[in-house]
Amino acid sequence: MSITLKIIYENDDFLVLEKPADLTVHPVKPEQKNTLADLIVARYPEIKGVGEDPLRPGIVHRLDKDTSGLMVVAKNNQSFNYLKKQFQDRKVEKEYLALVVGKIKDKKGTITKSISQSKKDHKKRSALLGEKSKPAWTEYEVLEYYKQYTLVKAMPKTGRTHQIRIHLASIGYPIAGDEQYKFKRQPCPKNLSRQFLHSHYLKFQTTDGKMIAFKSELPQDLKEVLEKLEKNHE
């Protein structure tokens, strides 16, 4: 693979990296290659046996393939179990930057719609109540208005698959460039080739009890999209 890992912090227990867009976090089948997990093991062979699943070495949380930004990866099993419990107990603070289609009226809001697997497409999720739906909770805050779009900060308090994408679409504001949850005739900013979603902030507790936080600026492709949009101050 031509992609190199961008590590922004590491110690003996974990590493924090910036995942690029268009990269799957881990394989679903053993024969699947060219994932983030492959890059991690190539650089850190000792992580190969960390965790509960050999296809997900050291990985305690995920980002969608086309979502960029911050991830934490455990380097040993003690750290893996410790970090995993923090995610399960909803103690990890996560913030994402998302550009949505439309003008969100409320400057701040909370979405608490449960999420279940779509009955029509097994790759998709739905914000409709079903027998196996799971509670989900996302808070958001408007950062900037543009013509046809709104830049928001999204704070997921739970970690459901596709949660931010589903929740924002469910209130009528799908993420720009999201092919899976887009609306019919949805506009797309010029030169945006993926969903505009970036893992921007991550805060958690280390094994020695210290709180640690990381920030990641928008990658160049998303910055350039914003620069070409016209701001709306109405």
Tokens representing residue 146 in the block: 């543009």
Instruction: Say how far apart CA 153 and CA 222 lie, in whole Å.
Output: 14
Catalytic residue chosen out of the listed positions 38, 64, 66, 178? 64
Q: Respond yes or no: is residue 208 known to be catalytic.
A: no
The set of catalytic residues is: 64
